[in-house]
Chain A
Amino acid sequence: MKRKALLIDTTLCVGCEACVWACKEGHGLSDDSPGKRNDNTYTTVKEYNDIYVRELCLNCEDPTCAAVCPVGAFTKQEAGAVLWDEKKCLGCRYCIQACPFHIPTYEWSSLNPKVVKCDFCHDLTSKGESTRCASSCPTGATLFGDRDAILAEARRRLKLKKGAVHEFPVHTLDSGDTIKHEALGYYPHIFGETEVGGTDVFFISDRDIRELGYFNNLPDYALRHRIEPAMGVIPDVIVTAGIFFYGMNWIINRRIENGVEPKTKIFGKKGEDK
């Protein structure tokens, strides 16, 4: 199975929220009106002045949530989904704290709370089928396909001439359906290609999407690499500290036994010791 990905082209998005409703229906969520993402809404369309940007789990290639979860409840699937395992989670919420995109949400009102987020429609993508949001998108603003092919499509679009009319595939890369649209011109950056080690959801836009909200200052390596230097020395600390403290104890006790060191006057004010 090839790794799948989504391309979200904000220049094509008209803000119709078809993706939001298809997601809610497909996942059996209640149909109350979506304000922000929560345990009932896995994806939303956010309006920034004149453009619409979808919010959904970016399904990172090397996910921070999976790196920090103490019980390893998050796993990256072959098709691309980052899934949460209800059977393991103990509710520490480190994933919510650490996600650089603020994606996982919590069932705060529940007595047996779940971590909820977009699951990349794993029931479909694991069979090679398109996610519900891409299948329902009427303009091709959310497009599904193999990850390398989607990246190639994104690179093709960045080079499109501004103002000329081009063909854009709809739903999936190989669906055969296309719409004709005037290219608005693109800012030369594919968001998600390198951010935090790469994601399986890419954003392209007519402006620098990193300036919207909290997408700024992300490194191009997985955030797991920030923890590893500290975690990697733990075995070393155990071994060296063990030898050091046993050794110190041995030396000091020998010196006291041999009368080299005074038995009590190691610290203390002059003349204060008994």
Chain B
Amino acid sequence: MSLAKELYLEAKEIVFDHFRTPTFWKVIFWAILAIGSFSIVYRFAFGLGASTNLSDEFPWGLWIGFDVMTGVGLAAGGFTISGLTYIFNIKKFRPIVKPAILTAMLGYILVVVGLLVDLGRPWYIWHMIIYWNIHSPLFEVGTCVLLYNIVLILEFSPVVFKKLRWSKAFHAVKKITMPLVILGVILSTLHQSSLGSLFLPVFTQMHPFWYSPLLPVLFYLSAVMTAFAMVTVESNIAARALRKQVEIGVLAVIARILVVLMALFGVIRLIDLYHQGILPQIFQANEASLYFWIEYSFMIIIPLILLTSEKRRWNNTILFYAAASTVIGFTIHRLNVAVTARTLINGDLYSPSFMELMTSVFIVAVGMAAYGFISKYFDLHDESGFTTELEEINVPKGGNSPQIQMAKK
């Protein structure tokens, strides 16, 4: 049997396996897929005005606040974990580096998809490459996201080359691993912080709880922090889906990093409010402080309490819920900056339409499905990582990889 046919049969097997046993969650997924694609088709057929609640008073809504600003932040695990593994040579993180890079790659591709839906003239997105306004934070974000997409695809490509048994390409990419990883860290540092810079000129229209001259620093820190929470969450989900054991030894180490970063971010957030002279205002009872405390509790207080004890850090259930809380808090934080801060100043001008909501849910669902497929199809949990020599790659003949056998059980 030729290699191409073998690979095709294996992919077919995974997809067929998905349809063979419909479960509750699979039905939900298909429903999301149907409604989401309808929303996107509707948006392109009838325009932004017909499908969204956006207006001249509120031009950036859920698609920017969630799909782009939260999506980029949640995909930060790619550069943090690859940085720790390759630059700082912490071999302990080897087992999770490829899943982290895969999540980041899918995340960034979906950010671009979300952006294409949101842009008024998506067919001109390449204008960012030829018309430069180097003073615009959005130009910076756009350029970095484009370049980082290329870096991520290259970082992930050895996994694909291994599967295709393209030894030359595999070794060529392997040789530039270190420059790629360092480039990825630099690009991420730049655009993760520039996402915060987007709001620097808008300060007259934002509630002071969420505006700060430090926004770029806060955005960078919160993204790095949430990256570790996100890795914990997705390791759990992936382990459940692939019926594998969670790497609790690695996750406990990550939890320790997470505790330090949460304490750091939590304190810097308060120091920042103090220097703006509005720290006492968070103790007043009003709408703004309510939003602040919801965000701060989920993002910092709850997970910090849960994770401060060594014993609890080795308990996977607690780890999972603490990390999930951080991820939720982070999402609330980004949405507060993008949406709530503006509505608190200019009045309740915006809540997302059903189609906006379903498009965002659709994008998340597609990302999870793609992750599920790729993690079953490719070998992500090879502990030897990028350093795998080609001799070790002995794909069993007949298209029966260990993953498939596991899925069949």
B124 engages A91 (CB within 8 Å): yes
Q: Does A231 contact B (CB under 8 A)?
A: yes
Q: Which A residues lie at the B interface, using CB under 8 A?
A: 37-38, 64, 67-73, 88-94, 96-98, 100, 102, 104-106, 108-113, 214, 216-218, 223-224, 226-231, 234, 237-238, 241-242, 245-246, 248-249, 252-253, 256, 263-264, 266-269, 272-273
> Are B137 and A252 within 8 A (Cβ)?
no
Contacts of B57 in A (CB 8 A): 102
Asked if B186 and A242 sit within 8 Å, CB to CB, the answer is yes
The minimal Cβ–Cβ distance linking B361 to chain A, given in whole angstroms, is: 22
Task: Check B59–A231 contact: CB distance below 8 A.
Answer: no
CA of A100 to CA of B124, assembled, Å: 26
Q: Which residues of B contact A73 (CB under 8 A)?
A: 131
Which residue of B has the minimal Cβ distance to A219? B204
- Nearest residue in A to B131 (C-beta to C-beta)? A71
A236 to chain B, nearest CB (A): 11
Q: Knowing A38-B56, A70-B139, A245-B185 touch, does A267 contact B121 (C-beta < 8 A)?
A: no
Q: Are A67 and B135 in contact (CB under 8 A)?
A: yes
Q: Are B49 and A92 in contact (CB under 8 A)?
A: no
Q: What are the residues of chain A within 8 A of B178 when measuring CB–CB?
A: 246, 249
Nearest 4 interchain pairs by C-beta? A91-B120, A108-B49, A72-B133, A70-B139
A266: chain B residues within 8 A (beta carbon): 88-92
User: CB-CB < 8 A to B205: which residues of A?
Assistant: 100, 214
Q: Is B290 an interface residue (CB 8 A)?
A: no
Count residues on chain B whose CB falls below 8 Å from chain A CBs: 64
CB-defined A-B contacts under 8 Å, sample of 10: A70-B128, A71-B128, A89-B127, A111-B47, A214-B205, A217-B204, A241-B182, A242-B186, A253-B89, A267-B92
B182 cross-chain contacts in A, Cβ below 8 A: 241-242, 245-246, 249
Contact of B55 with A by CB under 8 A:
yes
In Å, the complex CA distance between A98 and B198 comes to 9
Evaluate contact between B252 and A94: CB separation under 8 angstroms.
no
Write out the residue numbers on chain A whose beta carbons fall within 8 Å of the beta carbon of B125: 90
| Given A93-B120, A223-B201, A241-B185, A234 contacting B140 (CB threshold 8 A) | yes
> Among residues 180 to 205 in chain B, which have CB atoms less than 8 Å away from a CB atom of chain A?
182, 185-186, 189-190, 193-194, 196-198, 200-205
Considering only residues 78-136 of chain B, those with a C-beta below 8 Å from chain A are: 83, 86-92, 119-122, 124-125, 127-128, 131-136
Contacts of A68 in B (CB 8 A): 136-138, 201
Check B87 against A90 for contact (C-beta < 8 Å). Answer: no
CB neighbours (8 Å) of B47 from chain A are 108-111, 113
Give Cα A98–Cα B133 distance, bound, in whole angstroms: 16
For A246, the closest partner residue in chain B by CB is B182
A37 CA to B128 CA in the complex, in Å? Answer: 29
Q: A109-B50, A113-B47, A269-B252 are in contact. Are A94 and B198 (CB under 8 A)?
A: yes
Cross-chain contact B204 with A100 (CB below 8 angstroms): yes
CA distance A239 to B137 in the complex (A): 19
Are A248 and B92 in contact, with the CB atoms below 8 A? Answer: no
Question: Are A88 and B127 interface neighbours, CB within 8 A?
Answer: yes
Q: A72-B133, A91-B119, A106-B59 are in contact. Are A113 and B89 (CB under 8 A)?
A: no
Is A268 in contact with B92, judged by CB distance below 8 angstroms? yes
Please give, as numbers and ranges, the residues of chain B lying within 8 Å of A226 by CB-CB distance.
200-201, 203, 213
